[in-house]
Chain A
Amino acid sequence: MDISKKTENDVCELSLTGRLDTTTAPQLEETLKELFAQETKDLVLDMSQLDYISSAGLRVLLFAQKSINAVQGKLALKHVKPEIMEVFEITGFTDILSIEK
């Protein structure tokens, strides 16, 4: 998986490319931990190039949401592919993540 980062006006945007599964999820978790250590409060995840997500990926997204909530920040997901949206729906993640249509 590729993660690219760009920061603009205190908003940090991560673009995720490829697959978010058991072997690649720790990579995203590392990146997020670094960002939270730098007190990032406004985070956007661009999912337009993300093809695949398993429960390991969901775990990392849940971790991100919890961390953001703890500092009263904002996490937004955008351009989510329909296959991935379906995973969010069956797991009830649509209720806890803010997903931009």
Chain B
Amino acid sequence: MAAPTKKGFLKKIEEEFLRTTDTLWENEVAANIFVAKVLLGTALLDVFFLVLAFADTFSIEKDVLIKTLLPAFFELLIPALICLYLKGRKRWLKILMMVFYTFVLVSVESTLTDNATLCIVFPTVLSIRYYSQPLTSSIAVFTTLLSIFADYYAVEHQIGRIDMNVVELPAGTILTFLEDSILRKVVLTQGKINYERLWDNTVQYSLLPKILLFSVVATICAEIAKRGRMAIFAQQAETQKSERISTELSVASGIQTNMLPNIFPPFPDRDDFDIYATMTPAKEVGGDFYDFFMIDEDHIALVMADVSGKGIPAAMFMVIAKTLIKDHAQLGLQPDDVFTRVNHILCDGNEAGMFVTAWMGILDLRDGKLVYANAGHNPPVLKLDGKFQYLYSKPGFILAGLDDFKYTKAEMQLKQGDMIFLYTDGVTEATDLNGELYGEERLLKCLEKMEKRNCAYILQEVRRDVDRFVGEAEQFDDLTMMVFDYSPKDMIFMSAERTFDASDDKLHDVLRFVEEELEKHDVSMKDSMAISVAVEEIFVNIAHYAYEGKSGKAVVGMNFDDTNVDIYLVDTGIPFNPLEMADPDITASAEKRDIGGLGIYMVKKSMDSCHYERRNNENVFVMRKVIRK
């Protein structure tokens, strides 16, 4: 096992190295572009000085200046253009531009030995942008050497300003103020250079101090470049660290979500009730939780709770609270006793001062007797006899708040068709941009508006209503809801349903409706076609036979969950079970083949299950297809 680990480790280092070099490379490209722009800017400046030189505004000879400035223009322009053309994406560009830039500045310095001295620091300062100490140091050394040479050469050849200290004139020469350019001629015709003095003057008094000062500047530049690179590395490490933390958080969030029952329908073999729940954490991990579980054959427990605070601490406390409540409830205790005992355990060693609000109900599915207890949680909404209302009861104290608190239970009677809607304050306290709360009133109105639909649909609609209300405002609380429908699963509760005239003319409308719904749920083309064909077969069957030539209606409905789509076709025609039709012989030769029953046969073969029922003078045909997304 050691080998693959080592390999993995090496690979990780390699990846890290590549990633680091990536960032440096990106920086280098950006730096190249920047330097190219500086070169272009300098070229513009160069043009400006050229114009001034032509206009004879300088004290230095015109042609000397032009000889310097004109090539300089091209030395700046060409490397900059090459760099921009290559979009800065070549390693050698920095050397090219730096070398030419140095040449230009040094040649300017040689012409203006005294007043352009500062020029020679430019390449070194500019090279900091690459955050590379070796580069900056090399440029500094290169610039120094080149400028020593240029300075000496310039004075020796009397290119720039004349340094009168190094010229020996015949004894008795009288110096008067003259134009510099005339002076040069006088000097060069009548005087001669004293090389000893030249050395003393240029090297000792001018170059040496310049180099000393420049070394200080160069050292500082190199240090800045080094620090810059370190800052890039530090930033990178920080990014990696925060990436790791966010991965861990999302794993934690996954663990938390998976702790809550999240497969629906949770009890596929129970058709005496329906249940659905959702949790949307505001941060990656939240403190809300819901839970439901069968205590025995006839009792179901429903729990909705909200842990104080958010993030990892709340999630950890949630895990403890959820486990304790479920464990105690499964012992067969009543909700009040569950809360009393769980509270006692949670209070013990709760140094962080966390607490939980919770509501728990246990319903006897045989007679509808609901026993419940409330530990400081929001009142649930009940639908009793078709009317939605809050179940206000005097709540007990929060869990983990006060040791030895004695919770009380309450009882009530539910009838078939009643509903329980549980939620956390993330719903009622959702806030819009004006700071207004969604509130209990709006929640009740939203639920009342809802026609009788399936549980998943109800939660989806409430969620939509809350989202609409909130608009752009950022939400800080988890949004958790659960709905329990105490009525036999009625096949007509669908997420999409439409009624059509049972006629061939309407077939394309039917298929369009079906296919649009399938597309909304990302059903693959292959499954979508199989479902369409099945719908067509049943629909055409209804159109042709159900109403015996008279007109009638057919209802097409679809119900989606994560893995299945159920399709319902309902008509009020004569009783007819298509599943009873004999299967055609699919091995006979073409001549002996009879097409009758082929459509139904295709339905049976392509769907995962089919079911027919005659109910209240209606033919109800249900097909289920497992959808692979």
A interface residues with partner B (beta carbon < 8 Å):
21-23, 51-56, 58-59, 62, 65-66, 69, 82-83, 86-87, 90-92, 95-96
Contacts and interface: CB of A to CB of B under 8 A. Distances in A.
B589 A96 contact: yes
A90 B593 contact: no
A69 B602 contact: no
B81 interface: no
B529 A83 contact: yes
Interface string B499-536: 00000110110010000000000000110011011001
B507 A55 contact: no
Contacts of A58: 595, 598
Given A62-B595, A90-B602, A91-B598, A21 B590 contact: no
B590 A22 contact: no
A15 to B, nearest CB: 20
A47 B569 CA distance: 30
A91 B586 contact: yes
Given A52-B533, A54-B533, A96 B526 contact: no
B581 to A, nearest CB: 12
B590 A55 contact: no
A100 B595 CA distance: 23
B599 A55 contact: yes
A90 B606 contact: yes
A51 B529 contact: yes
Given A56-B540, A83-B529, A90-B606, A69 B595 contact: no
Contacts of B505: 23
B223 interface: no
Contacts of A66: 590-591
Interface in B596-613: 598-599, 601-602, 605-606
Closest 9 CB pairs of A and B: A92-B586, A55-B599, A90-B605, A96-B590, A59-B595, A55-B598, A65-B590, A54-B536, A83-B529
Nearest to B528: A83
Contacts of B598: 55, 58-59, 91
Contact of B595 (A23, A53, A55, A90): A55
Given A62-B595, A69-B591, A83-B525, 17 more contacts: A22-B504, A22-B507, A23-B504, A51-B529, A52-B529, A53-B533, A54-B537, A54-B599, A55-B599, A56-B540, A56-B599, A59-B598, A86-B530, A87-B602, A90-B602, A92-B586, A96-B590
B258 interface: no
B173 interface: no
B587 interface: yes
Nearest to A51: B529
A62 B606 CA distance: 20
24 contacts: A21-B511, A21-B536, A22-B504, A22-B536, A23-B507, A51-B529, A52-B533, A53-B533, A54-B540, A55-B598, A55-B602, A56-B540, A58-B595, A59-B598, A66-B590, A86-B526, A86-B530, A87-B533, A87-B602, A90-B602, A91-B586, A91-B598, A95-B587, A96-B589
Contacts of A53: 533
A95 B585 CA distance: 12
Contacts of B595: 55, 58-59, 62
B521 to A, nearest CB: 18
A80 to B, nearest CB: 13
Contacts of A95: 586-587
B602 A92 contact: no
A94 to B, nearest CB: 10
A21 B602 CA distance: 14
Contacts of A86: 526, 530
Contacts of B529: 51-52, 83
A22 B540 contact: yes
A53 B533 CA distance: 7
Among A54, A56, A69, A96, max chain B CB count under 10 A is at A54
Given A87-B602, A91-B598, A91-B601, A62 B593 contact: yes
A23 B508 contact: yes
A90 B537 CA distance: 15
Contacts of A92: 586-587
A86 B536 CA distance: 17
Nearest to B532: A52
B38 to A, nearest CB: 61
A75 B511 CA distance: 30
Nearest to B525: A83
A20 to B, nearest CB: 11
Contacts of A51: 529
A55 B586 CA distance: 13
Contacts of A23: 504-505, 507-508
A58 B599 CA distance: 9
Nearest to A57: B533
Contacts of B602: 54-55, 87, 90-91
Residue of B505, B529, B537 with most chain A CB atoms under a 10 A cut-off:
B529
A29 to B, nearest CB: 12
| Most A C-beta atoms less than 10 A away, residue of B504, B508, B525, B595 | B595
B585 to A, nearest CB: 8
A20 B200 CA distance: 103
A22 B589 CA distance: 24
A58 B605 CA distance: 15
A82 to B, nearest CB: 7
Contacts of A55: 533, 537, 595, 598-599, 602
B121 to A, nearest CB: 72
A59 to B, nearest CB: 5
Contacts of B532: 52
Contacts of B536: 21-22, 54
Contacts of B526: 82-83, 86
A91 B588 CA distance: 11
A69 B592 CA distance: 12
Nearest to B593: A62
A1 to B, nearest CB: 11
Interface string B526-559: 1001101100110010000000000000000000
Contacts of B507: 21-23
Nearest to B589: A96
B539 to A, nearest CB: 9
